[in-house]
Amino acid sequence: RLANAVTPLWRFPYQEQLQVKYESQRKILQTLTSRLEELGIDAQKPGGLCCPLQPVVPSPVINGYRNKSTFSVNRGPDGNPKTVGLYVGTGRERNIVCVKANPVKNIPSKHKQVAQCYEEFICRSPLDSCILFHEGGHWRELVVRTTSCGHTMAIITFHPQQLGQEALATQKALLKEFFTSGPGAVCALTSLYFQESTMTRCSHEQSPYQLLHGAPHIFEELLGLKFRISPDAFFQVNTAGAEVLYQAVGGLCQATGDSVLLDICCGTGTIGLSLAHRVSKVIGVEVVEKAIEDAEWNAAFNGISNCEFHSGKAEAVLPQLLASWEDARPLVAVVNPSRAGLHYRVVRAIRNCRAIRRLLYISCKPEGEAMRNFLELCCPPDPRKKLAGEPFAPVLAIPFDMFPHTVHCELVLLFTR
């Protein structure tokens, strides 16, 4: 049941998985084509779609490709309230159980090992797991991040409830001892972090990540560059797949030596830095402050001097940046937002900046909020919405399988005007 819930295509041969994904991406493009027609745009091209759809680009790694996994703590099928794993069931049906991740193909064995050790630790602890915040308990989720350099970072979330600083210090010391000289030492952690959180999700700014052991960062190598990764920095979950994706993005940008590359939602700077040698300048924008610190470190460490990074919400930073844009150099934009898509003010700033003639939209959920963005990019000018700029048109769609065994796909849509 867990394998079916987390990796629903795991029983299919890989070529069949790619075909399933191609058909789902085709349906998404059909929806986009219909929606564009509703806006009065003659969108249908030969083949009935608004732009050609290429075959799904396969992932170089099919099993154990995830470099980041999040494990929950809850009741297992045997009733153990300190089971560390992934959820099966739904809240609506009240049949949620937490199942160990052993059968899941896309999670590497190192992640499963750390999860098993964390479970062993909390089972020894007199403190309860925190299943419902208002019912008390402390031990919460575990995030494991690994890199191809052999680094492993573990981040443990803990609900402090009414514990004082002394009691918290005791728990942190016990955790560190377990993972450095106790049974958890087999995990050979590069970094062990601890976060006190009274919310479902907490940023570093809301509640700092506390380093209990090891190095503050782990490092990854991608396209010949070295990248520093903080606990909450975004990094594509499939490193080998990301290399294929970024190489393709570089080709699709058609950026030349005099171009400026605008990297929106840049994370630790992976896309911009990997393409910096092709362009005259890279400008990155990212909301997570720690990720921007990583991006700046990554640029300096790799000897890349033509990049500048801006920390803040894209909807606050970008309109200011583009409103005063007077640079004569060609401007190419790459956007790689979360599932929530781009804020309307970001789309409007892109539309109203005449210098942007070419835009690459990388979406991990094109059927979701990204669809709204596609329509905003392509719709006729609308003075009421302050959309004065010439509309974009989709010219090519390429799906990338970044998530084998799941139904998800990364879709790259190229827009020009």
Query: Model confidence at 47, in pLDDT bands (50, 70, 90)?
Result: confident
Q: Are 53 and 75 contained in the same domain?
A: no
pLDDT band at 324; cut points 50, 70, 90:
confident
With cut-offs at 50, 70 and 90, classify the pLDDT of residue 44.
confident
The pLDDT value recorded for residue 257 is: 86
Residues 47 and 166 in one domain: no
Q: Where does a domain end: 190, 221, 252? A: 221
Residue 215 has pLDDT above 80, yes or no: yes
Residue 99 falls inside a structural domain:
yes
Candidates 125, 297, 145; CA nearest to 214 is 145
Give tens-digit pLDDT for 78-109: 999 999 999 998 778 778 899 999 999 999 99
What CATH number has the domain bearing residue 75?
A: 2.40.50.1070
| pLDDT per position as a tens digit, 375-407 | 999 999 988 888 888 999 999 999 999 999 999
Question: Residue 340 CA to chain centroid, in angstroms?
Answer: 11
| pLDDT at residue 95, as a whole number | 83
**Around 135, how many Cα atoms within 13 Å sit in the side-chain half-sphere?**
6
Which among 214, 17, 23, 194 is positioned nearest to 118, based on CA atoms? Answer: 194
Q: Which of 221, 255, 285 is the last residue of a domain?
A: 221
Predicted confidence at residue 123, as pLDDT, reads: 97
pLDDT of residue 405: 98
More confident residue, 267 or 93: 267
- Which residues belong to the annotated binding site for S-adenosyl-L-methionine? 236, 286, 336
Q: Are residues 144 and 264 in the same domain?
A: no
Inform me whether the pLDDT recorded for 69 exceeds 90.
Answer: yes
- Evaluate whether 99 touches 112 at the Cβ level (below 8 Å): no
Cβ atoms < 10 Å from Cβ of 11? 11
Q: What are the pLDDT digits (tens) for 11-32?
A: 999 999 999 999 999 999 999 9
* Residues 76, 50 share a domain: no
Query: Do residues 75 and 112 both lie within one domain?
Result: yes
Q: Does 294 lie in the same domain as 202? A: no
Residue 232 within a domain: no
- Do 249 and 363 lie in one domain? The reply is yes
Same domain, 390 and 318: yes
Residue 1 lies in a domain: no
Given 221, 255, 289, the domain boundary residue is 221
Whole-angstrom distance, CA of residue 260 vs CA of residue 346: 18
In a domain, 354, yes or no: yes
Q: In total, how many domains does the chain have?
A: 2
Instruction: Tell me how long the chain is.
Output: 417
pLDDT of residue 219: 96
Residue 106 in domain: yes
Same domain membership, residue 261 and residue 168: no
We report the CATH number of the domain holding residue 255 as 3.40.50.150
Distance separating the N- and C-terminal Cα atoms of the chain: 47
User: Residues of the chain with pLDDT > 70: what percent?
Assistant: 100
Is residue 187 in a domain?
yes
* Same-domain check for residues 134 and 76: yes
Q: What is the pLDDT averaged over residues 272-282? A: 94
Does 399 lie in the same domain as 304? yes
Mean pLDDT, to the nearest integer, of 104-127? 97
Question: Is the pLDDT score of 302 beyond 90?
Answer: yes
Q: Residue positions in the annotated binding site?
A: 236, 286, 336
Question: What does pTM read for this prediction?
Answer: 0.91
Active site residue 364: yes
Identify the domain containing residue 305 by its residue range: 14-60+238-416
8-state DSSP, 415: E
Does 318 fall in a domain?
Answer: yes
What is the CB neighbour count within 10 angstroms for residue 13? 9
CA 318 to CA 337: how far, in whole Å?
14
Tell me which amino acid residue 45 is.
Answer: K
300 lies in the same domain as 335: yes
Catalytic residue, chosen from 187, 253, 364, 409, is 364
d(CA 32, CA 309): 33
Residue 201 above 80 pLDDT? no
Please report whether residue 230 resides in a domain.
no
